[in-house]
Every structure is written in structure tokens, then in C-alpha cells.
Structure 1
Amino acid sequence: MQTVVVKFGGPMLATTEKIVQVAKKVIKEQGRGINLVVVVSSMTSIRQNLRQFASEITHEPSKREMDALISTGAQITSVLLALAIQEHGGKAVSLAGWQAGIQTNEKYGNARIDSIVNKRFEKHFELGEIVVVSGFQGITYTDNISTLGKGGSETSAVALAIALNAERVDIYSTVEGIYTADPQLVEDATKLSVISYDEMLEFSNLGTKILHPRAVELAKNYNMPIVVRSATEDVEGTLIKGDVDMEKNLLVRGVAYESDIIRLTIGYDSYETASLAEVFSVLAENDINVDIIVQAVIDGIKPTISFTISKEEFADALRVLESSKLSLGFSFADFEIGLAKVSIIGSAMTSNPGVAARMFARLGREHIPVKMVSTSEIKVSVVVPQEEMVRAANALHEEFNIAMKEVPAS
């Protein structure tokens, strides 16, 4: 019998009424003759309450204790869902992450899965039970509870699917699938029936919040298919897989964007004092993520290094740079706020030169200034003024005819 792993996020489990709806849905899914594992996130209200309780007691909680505390949120949700399944005629058992055999390293708050010991699942499948697993968590080799950080629940689902040799992972979401752009901002955005792992990785890294990159990367490494589908509508979702016939598909598959980008620039008196390695090593040591990087070294002009960061990390980046100014040797630092990143994505871009030029030409005709550029084999990103983000996204969506009907999944 085939095994399918499904994942439901916090918004779909926000109330007991929604939990009952999910229970009925998974009972129906199991009725198709499969072994079913359901991975759940914590109810948002519970997670917020737990953090609030901790903050009322201490401003500097230990990471180990916070992991033990926060993990209970998903455990409560998994128990409630198991009870709802039982109440509506199904068989179910809830398992915390450690009971499901998810073993991690000891980096509390952002642990990585090392292995899964899946001894218990076959017994529950033989009893006809739906196994409801608390996502976002595991246990260390020293028997301490750990949490997986951002993207932890979908990463749990993919890892379990790999360990159980499942047919696929279904990620139930508030949207019907992966779109060529955000349909709330781009009127002609259309749902993709199929997308490659590499394209999905770019979508995830460039601002699309449906799937975390670490879950996509794990699925790619083990060739585990993922389907992103609606939790409320019975419609086909988007299949994420390795082999997509790019020759028959669109040159550009989608447009992604991210608001509230900040450009930081540091300048040096001479090239000899400028060191990319030292700057970004210091930022990395302080867990500050840097995106687009531009170094300018021109005779007669003081060298500069510019890079983009998110608004959330701006204060930390300034603090780190200021405290390291002497060791890094830069003479000044400046920043620009009110920026956004707009990207075009498509695996077929690899064998089709001229895509970037066409992108820049269209933005030029729209009189949208391009402040920074970053490219890879399957994406081109530009930094533009924040107020031009939506107009740039719509113009590029139209320029590359992304709304054209694409080839169905096969």
C-alpha cells in the first residue's frame, strides 16, 4: 500500500472548527486506500501565547528551554487533530517529533534533521490509523527536544516521506498552488501545473513564502515529489519535481518579488584595506543573511562594497559593522531604504541568451531605475525603488507572456 505524507500549516488549524474540517478531509484522503501521515504546525494562537508566557518570566530564556516550550504547541495541535479524526469515525494516533524518531543536531531553535528512525509507523499503518505527527521538532542525541526553525514543519514532512519511501508529499495551503506571480498584485498571474525543484528553490529564495527553501532542497536531493494544493478547494495543485520538459514550456516561468530591501554600502580609502572575505565572514558569524553583492574598484575612486539585506536584519547589520569598523578597515558606511527586489525565474533561460537584456529594456521603457543586479543560470534579480515593485512585476509578467497557457504536468 502506498504512503502519502500531508502537511497542514497553522492557518488551516487556527480553530477547533478548522481542525474538524481537516479531520474530515484526511479521513476522506485515507479512504482512497493509502497509508497516511499528517504533519501539523502549531495553532498560531498557542505559539504566540507560549512565547508571551516566556517573555513575562524572563527576557533571556535559554534556547533549550524555549525549544521544549515551543514544541508543545504542535503537540497540542496534533492531539486535537487525532481526537477530531477519532470523533468523526477514523482511526488516528498522535506522535510528537521524538516519538516519530526525528533525530537532530543540538542547534536549538534552528536544528537540522540527521536521521529518522521510523520503527513505529508500520504498526500504526497495520491498525489502519492515520499517524498525526507534530512538525517543526525532533530530539537530539542527548535526548533533548529541539525545534527546526523556519520551514521546520514542511521539512519534517519531506524528511518523513523520504524515510517512509512515500509516493509524495502534499502541502496543503491557503492558495491553490504555485502561481506565476502573486495573483493579488499581478492580474494575469496563472497557476503552474508543474515546476522544477530548481525553479521552486528560486521562487522560495526570492520571496515566495509557500515553501521554505530547505524543504525544497531536501526533496530535490532525494527526488521526492511535492504537490502544493488548496486546503479548501478540491482542485489540482502544482507538482514540484525534477524532470520538467523545458523545451515545451515558457522561457520565463514566473516573477517573484520581495519588499523592504535595504542597500548597505561601505567604503574604503584604498583597495588594499578592502576585503570581501572579512566583511562577509563577520556578517555570517552574526547570522546576518546577505543577498545581492556589488564591489566597485575603479582607478581614482575610493572602492566600495554594496550589498542588500532585509529590513528585519538592518539594525543588527549596522551594529555588527560599527563594532567591527576598526578590524574591517572601512572609512564610511551608508544605506538606502525604500527598495524592493524583483526577479524573473525559468529553467529554460539557461539555453536562451538575451533574457536579461530584454528584462532591462522593458524596465527602461517603463522608466523604472535599476539599482543593483544579480543573476544565476535560471534567474535575474534587480533592485528597484519600492514604489515601483508592483509596476515592474506586472510589466515583466506581460513582457515574457507568462500568462500564456503552459504545458500540463505529465
Structure 2
Amino acid sequence: MTRAHAAGRQIILGAHFPGVNNTTVWSDPASGSHIAFESFRRFAQSAERGFFDFLFLAEGLRLREQRGVIHDLDVVGRPDTLPVLSGLAAVTAHLGLAGTINATYNEPYEVARQFATLDHLSAGRAAWNVVTTSDAFTGENFRRAGYLPHDQRYSRAQEFLDVARLFWDSWPDPRIEPGRVSYTGTQFDVAGYPGVPRPPQGHPVIFQAGDSAAGRDFAARNADAVFTRHGTPEAGRAFYADVKSRAQAHGRDPENLKVLPGVTFVIGDTDEDARERAAAIRAQQVSGQTAILLLEHVWNRDLSGYDPDGPLPDIEPDLSETTVFQGRARQIDDRAAEAARLRALAREKNLTLRQTVIETQSRQTFVGSPETVAEALIDAVGTRVCDGFILVPHITPAGLEPFVERVVPLLQERGALRTEYPANATLRDLLGLPYPGEAPA
């Protein structure tokens, strides 16, 4: 018996409709539209059939570019989050609906009204993933192009959320007149009345996905859940302990901040079968062109003249601040060191350029038979790597179905996942979160 099962810890499950990224295998015949509502419906209903807690949508306010042209992974488009979630509210009954909306390029009243509306339409299933950007490239699509200094991202986000909460709280009962909101700060000067009564959850569930020190502190102070990339046991436990301690320092119960890494999975009849499937999927995810584009993030140079099936570039990375890519966060702190590491790996294993990228940038988090994957998920939650997972399949919209059909029953047998939804449960109820204004238990 695992510690997770012994402790009775339930696994939180979210389903990430992946959108445009290098996880999706576009060439697979099972890969469907990322725009048609039918894809969203099928994906959401699969998650609900598997007793998941919520569906998660990311956001892209501008198509990414590399060397001045649209990145291939973005050309399918990015549908707007809230209309999709509103449509899904009508074809699901229990599943939480989490959407990413930027606090830099929107206004508090507008977003507060939109999420209050979604919460009413869905009977208390709305969640808002609060993100920020100081990216002038993204800002060119808005009248505030590039106006926000990097160090003000979270100060604006904090005021944004504070004002939104004022609007949610100012009309507690539709039988009485709404209260007036008045707020003056460094980012906002707002005065008016809410357009929608208080949401059924009080406030929608708040997600946050930033990993910087400022992002972690913002989450510890404000968020109900953190969407993190730290999925390995060692990195996961360190992140888990850090944000939980930060939450406690803000006077919160750490158990009311859920840590949910985004993870990928491959399921096979046996562990060996799953490993073979995983290797084939990684090869499909990284075409020769994609390998070049991803490696340009390390070299910060135009590498289009290099052969993906040849050796790594023989030139050194450009270490200047100017980058060849736009609209994507920089994730490499030391380009020279990373290039040296990749060269050493390529020499050691006799890898081509493309093979090196596959080896280092394409990994599935959980690979194995249904039994192996189920036990690994249970153990991660039981040993405080996280509180649950946001699953990102490599096929849309059908990619979640093998997990639902083969892993979910095992989680239920082991007491790690519900076998039915509670009647009339909101997303806060599903996640075990308090309602705003509730006294601590």
C-alpha cells in the first residue's frame, strides 16, 4: 500500500486542452481540430467521464514569431478562452472550467463580470488562471504596447485581482441593491457598480502559473492552485515546500494552496510497450524543422542552413539580449553552458542535431502500463511532490481517453479518485477549498 493510499489523499486531476505547442503530434491521423467546438466538447466530456476536477485552457494573445515569421506551431490559431468555456458549461454538468486571462491587457471590471457570469452559467464551476506579461511584442496587439515595466507585472496583477474581488463582493445578494466600488491605486482608479451579483463560489477559483520569486509569492498570497512545470520528484518536492511555506507566511493554511504540475503520459500494455510508444511519440513531436527552431532558442542565431540530420552547429551562441524568437518566455539562463552540455551529450551518444533535441527537450512524465502509471501518480501525491496533476495529452481531442479508460478505474480501486461527483458541488467543493469569507476550520 502506498503512503498516498494509506493517508487517504485524493488526487486532483485537471485536463489541459493543449492548443498550439510542440507536445501535440499534428501528423497523427487521430489529431483533430484545435478550433472546432466538437473537439472541445469531446475533450471535456472525456474528462468528466473520468471524474476529473476541471478542464484548463491556456491563452495566447499573439502568435509567436521566429526570425520574423510565424512559428509553425502557432498557425492553427488560438480561440478565445471565455466563449469556449461558456459553451462547455452547457455540455458538462460537474467539470470545473478554468481559463487563462491576462491581467496586463485587460481591465478588472470587465474580467470580474466575465468570470462572475461564467460562474453563474455553470453553477459554480469557474476558475481564472491569472497571468501577466511585460512583453512589448505581445503588447503591439493592444493600445498599451510595451508600456508595462517588467517589475510592475505583479503589482498590477495584485491590484487587478484586488479590484475584481471588490466587484465580486459588492453585490452579495441579488435581492438587494449592489454596493458601489471605489478604488484608487498605482495601476487603477475605478468607481462604479458591479454588473452581476456575487458568483456562486463567492470568487472563482484562482490559478497562477508564474515560477519566478515574485510569481511564487503572488500565488502564495492569492491563488487557490498553482499550475507548475516542476513534475520530477526532486524539483516537485522543493517547489511544493517553497510555495506552501510562503502561503503559511501570508497567514494561510498551506493545504488551501493546491500544487498541480502539468504532466504528459504514455500508456502501453506493458512498461516496455509504453517506452517504445513514448520514443515513437517523441520522434513525431520533433520534426527536423521543429528541432532547428527549438535549438535556435539556445544558439540565438538563424540555424536554418544546418542539416537536422547532421551535427550540432559549430558556431558559438549569440549571447546578446536581442533574441531571434518573440512571444515566448526565455527559459535558458546560460546559452554558452547549455550549448556545451548539448555538444557533450551529442558526442557521448553519437547523436544528430534532431536526435539531440529529441533526447533533451521531449520527455513524457509518466510512461508505463496502466498499473505503473496509477501507482506513480498515487505515490507522487502521497509523498508531497504535488496535490494532483494537469494532464496534457499529445493528441487532441482523443488523447485523454486512454487515461480515462485504463488508469482512472485503477485510481478509483485504490481509493485515490472519486467514483461519483458530489451532488450540486462547485469547483471549490471538488478541490476541497474554502469559500471567501469562511472562517478557518
**When the two structures are superposed, what TM-score results if normalisation uses the length of structure 1?**
0.29
More strand by share: 1
> Which one has more relative contact order, counting CA pairs under 8 Å at least 6 apart?
2
**When the two structures are superposed, what TM-score results if normalisation uses the length of structure 2?**
0.28
